[in-house]
Amino acid sequence: MTPSSSYFSTEPEPDISRVFLLTRLLCDNDATDDGCVNNKGNETNSEGRTTVTSNMTAGTTYTSSTPSLGWGSELKQSASSSTATTRTPAASSSSLSSITDHTTYPLIRQNDRVYLRDPENPYPLPCDLPEIHRQTLRSLMLLRVFGAPFCNPQFSKAPPKRVLDLGCGSGLWSSMCHEYFAKKGHHDISFTGLDIVSLAPDLRRQGVNWQFKHHDLRKSRLPFPDGYFDFVFMKDLGMCSFGSSNHESPLSEPLRVLKSGGILEVWDSDLVFRTLLPNPAPAPGLSSKDQEVADATATYTFSSATPFATPQNKYLQDYNSWVQKAFDERKLTAMPCATIGLSFTSEMDVFKSVDSRRIAIPLGEVRWERETPTKNTGTSRRALSEDQLALRQTALQTVIQMIESMEPLLMEASGKGRDEWDRWWAAMQGDLLQKGSLASGECLEVSAWWGQKR
């Protein structure tokens, strides 16, 4: 993807400075003192680990000269005011009450990372700037492989008026979706972000009609009336617990606040890695436009019938076993893509129509891509372009960063002590970043589902 190419395929090109704005503040030394990776090359963090930077754009890093416009200071102030330190003075009645006050002090620092404090909340990832950095890279990558900030075709003619971004995090998706519609001349769309912690800056300063709602998804009811939104978007919520009762689907509340004819869309990624077998057939019913995006990004569309194998890389095998064990103990699923599809199926009486796209992103250069002829052309795929290789390197970087983000629960599941874990980590990172270590076809699986409400 060159600097002049579009993240939105054939759609109008967004302002690249806006795309990179959040990542700029994450790498600004003035924005945080929480050990955020400085994206200026290979950097060593506070634990002595070397983090290798990656570029999705050939020759262009995610560091931008665009001013942060206060985003970094807002996030730093929010984090510092809501984070409880583990090094507390002698207990008093007020300090003891703050220990269990997860609303006023929702965050806690552990091993130089910031996590949710509530022990009843199973969410395993940090809530800090390095994690927002990882999620930003992942979001930009998904925008590229899906071709737009959403997959449903209904908004090509009539845009939504009210949009709900559930689990909004940094607000990047809302910002990009606003920009997408603004390029088409639609400026009167309101966006509402909802999350358990306020990490998003005030997007109104960027021209977005935006408001934020603080809400814990474990509560049974969303704080909105029935049929209020035209578009409800959910991304990477497979690790979150929902407050629906046992007989309700996790989609029940999002569907309640969605008006008739509105769109519910869900994006997620599986946390267990598999190997894509040679020469996979494209997903049935794939449009020519979607196939063009897959060809341009060197990714593979697939369906439930597409064959996969276990990963050949021994470190991904280790990770798979540990993350499945850890998630089972937290009553979470390490393969949310399968369960989300089932949730849409269980609500078929509510939907007028349902569709999906599933994409496998190889984590490196795959041996069989050059050796095996494709069914479509009868010839092997050409060598990866710089853009395609950069996209795969970005996918791999977000995977390594995710493993680091889940270190506390993975280390516990593995039974390793600190020294043994650090040795495993160093060997794992060195192996995954070595050329050819993922040549069997190990991939990141990402999926999107959408449905129109009756």
Kindly tell me the sign of the dihedral angle through the C-alpha atoms of 140, 142, 144, 146.
negative
Phi, psi dihedrals of residue 309, rounded to the nearest 5°: -130, 165
- Across 270-279, 372-381, 410-419, least confident range: 372-381
> Nearest 5°: CA angle at 204, between 198 and 209?
100
The pLDDT of 86-111, averaged and rounded, is 60
Above 70 in pLDDT, residue 399?
Answer: yes
Over range 78-103, report the average pLDDT. Answer: 48
B/e letters for 405-417, b = 16+ CB within 10 Å, e = fewer, are bbbebbbebbebe
Distance separating alpha carbons of residues 144 and 176, to the nearest angstrom: 12
Determine which of 16-30, 297-311, 408-422 has the lowest per-residue pLDDT on average: 16-30
Tally of residues, the chain: 454
Are 275 and 312 in contact by the 8 Å Cβ rule? The answer is: yes
Burial class (CB in 10 A: 0-12, 13-18, 19+), 419: exposed
Strand, coil or helix: what is 110? strand
Q: What average pLDDT does range 190-217 have in this prediction? A: 94
Summarised one tens digit per residue, pLDDT across range 322-376 is 999 999 999 999 999 988 999 999 999 999 999 999 999 999 999 999 876 655 5
Q: What angle (nearest 5°) sits at the alpha carbon of residue 357, between those of residues 53 and 239?
A: 60
Q: Residue 255 phi/psi, 5° resolution?
A: -70, -30
* Neighbour-count burial of 404, counting CB atoms closer than 10 A to its CB (0-12 exposed, 13-18 middle, 19+ buried): buried
The H or E element containing residue 81 is: helix 71-82
Q: Which residues contact 296 (CB under 8 A, 6 or more apart)?
A: 9, 388
Return the C-alpha torsion angle 164, 169, 174, 180, nearest 10: -140
Mean pLDDT of 108-118: 89
Q: Which helix (H) or strand (E) element contains residue 133? A: helix 129-146
The pLDDT of residue 104? 77
Lowest mean pLDDT among 46-60, 288-302, 383-397: 46-60
CA atoms of 138 and 391, how far apart (whole Å): 10
Return d(Cα 312, Cα 90) in angstroms, integer: 51
Rounded to whole angstroms, the Cα distance separating 14 from 262 reads 25
> ∠ CA(318), CA(108), CA(175), 5° rounding?
85
* Side-chain half-sphere CA neighbours of 90 within 13 A: 0
Token representation of residue 47: 């634990």
Q: Which alpha helices (DSSP H) does 286-406 contain, by range? A: 288-297, 314-329, 336-346, 367-371, 386-405
In this prediction, residue 119 carries a pLDDT of: 87
Distance CA 343, CA 439 (A): 34
Return the sign of the alpha-carbon dihedral for residues 287, 288, 293, 298: positive
Contacts by residues 201-208 (CB-CB < 8 Å, ≥ 24 positions apart): 201/70, 201/71, 201/74, 201/75, 201/170, 201/171, 202/74, 203/171, 203/174, 203/175, 203/178, 205/69, 205/70, 206/18, 206/69, 206/175, 207/178, 207/182, 208/174, 208/175, 208/178
Name, in order, each residue with C-beta under 8 angstroms of 141's C-beta and a sequence gap of 6 or more: 56, 361, 391, 394, 395, 398
Nearest C-alpha neighbor of 441 from the set 370, 338, 339, 337: 370
List the Cα angle 444/321/142 in 5-degree steps. 15
Statement: residue 3 has pLDDT above 60: no
